Amino acid sequence: MSDVIKLRLFCLPYSGASAMSYSRWRRSMPEWLQVRPLELPGRGMRMDEPLQSDIRRLACQLADEISAELDRPYALFGHSLGGLLAFELAHALRERGLPAPLALFASATAGPARRDVSEYTVAKTDEQLIARLRELKGTGEELLANTELMQLMLPILRADFLLCGSFSYGQRSPLPIPIHVFGGKQDSVRTEQLLDWQTDTCNRFSLDMFEGHHFFLVQQEVELLRSVRRYAEEHLTRWRNQQARQPCG
């Protein structure tokens, strides 16, 4: 496929993370599947920009920023908070009449329709944030004990939790795109919460479960990327076939 059409995979980070969390993926994916991590304001290369705490506003901003890059097939991937933000981004793109993604990949995040965000509506203290990081089993104790690192990370994490708390489902029509959901077998996000994503597609739905806790995305990276690649290849092949059937002129 390297000599034909390539597919962009826009990747949205989990709470507290930057676009760098997907840097390894760029080296692991084939040439036809181009990983395009999205940097959120207030971190990484956008450190000088203010942190956002309104998820719909942020999704609209991202939709405007990537609109010029939708000149080829693309898909959206998000882990945890990133999955919810990818959902909002898909709706923001649809509202603008922009080309739809070939698929939405939602990892380690409950379906939006019955999602309870009440835990995240009030800003958490440093102690509460650190306790939550321990619970998610994605940050080593040596990092949690690094005061300088925590001073950088905790404000971002606090804003990201508020970002999640700002989510409101409201009135939504199902997306006309496939939704592929990934979950960790030992994660606190339960299977029935992952299955709730079925409500938000009038197209194909799938659920793949992996060994691990909330950060199976790291623990099971090879297996997860194999699944993403397989689904992406199916959708890109289908897209190419549809293009080939369209009449010329």
- Band the pLDDT of 154: cuts 50, 70, 90: confident
Looking at the whole model, is its pTM more than 0.75? yes
Q: Is residue 137 in a domain?
A: no
pLDDT in the model for residue 111: 97
pLDDT in the model for residue 2: 41
Integer CA distances (angstroms), 48 to 2, 28, 99, 221, in order: 37, 30, 31, 31
Mean predicted confidence (pLDDT) in 14-18: 90
Asked if residue 1 has pLDDT above 50, the reply is no
Please report where in the chains the tokens 């990537």 appear, as a residue. Answer: 66
Task: Name the average pLDDT for the chain.
Answer: 92
Say if residues 123 and 158 touch (Cβ distance below 8 Å): yes
Q: Which phi and psi angles does 193 have, rounded to 5°?
A: -70, -35
3-state helix, strand, coil in the chain (%, to 5): 50, 15, 40
Q: Is residue 151 in a domain?
A: no
Of 135-139, 157-161, 192-196, 239-243, which has the strongest mean pLDDT?
192-196
pLDDT in the model for residue 249: 53
Structural domain of 22:
7-117+169-245
**Range in 25-39, 108-122, 207-221 with the lowest mean pLDDT:** 108-122
* Annotation marks residue 80 as catalytic: yes
Angstrom distance (rounded) from CA 62 to CA 211: 32
Q: Is residue 129 in a domain?
A: no
CATH number of the domain within which 179 lies: 3.40.50.1820
Angstrom distance (rounded) from CA 194 to CA 190: 7
The domain total for the chain is 1
15, 18, 21, 80: which is the annotated catalytic residue?
80
Element (H, E) at 132: helix 126-136
Q: Is residue 173 in a domain?
A: yes
Please report where in the chains the tokens 């489902």 appear, as a residue. Answer: 169
Mean predicted confidence (pLDDT) in 61-74: 97
Angstrom distance (rounded) from CA 149 to CA 157: 12
Q: Is residue 24 in a domain?
A: yes
Integer CA distances (angstroms), 149 to 29, 41, 141, 155, 177, in order: 30, 18, 12, 11, 39
Q: Is residue 217 in a domain?
A: yes
**pLDDT tens column, 93-149:** 999 999 999 999 999 999 999 999 988 877 788 888 888 877 776 667 777 777 777
Asked if residue 235 has pLDDT above 60, the reply is yes
Q: Is residue 232 in a domain?
A: yes
Q: Is residue 162 in a domain?
A: no
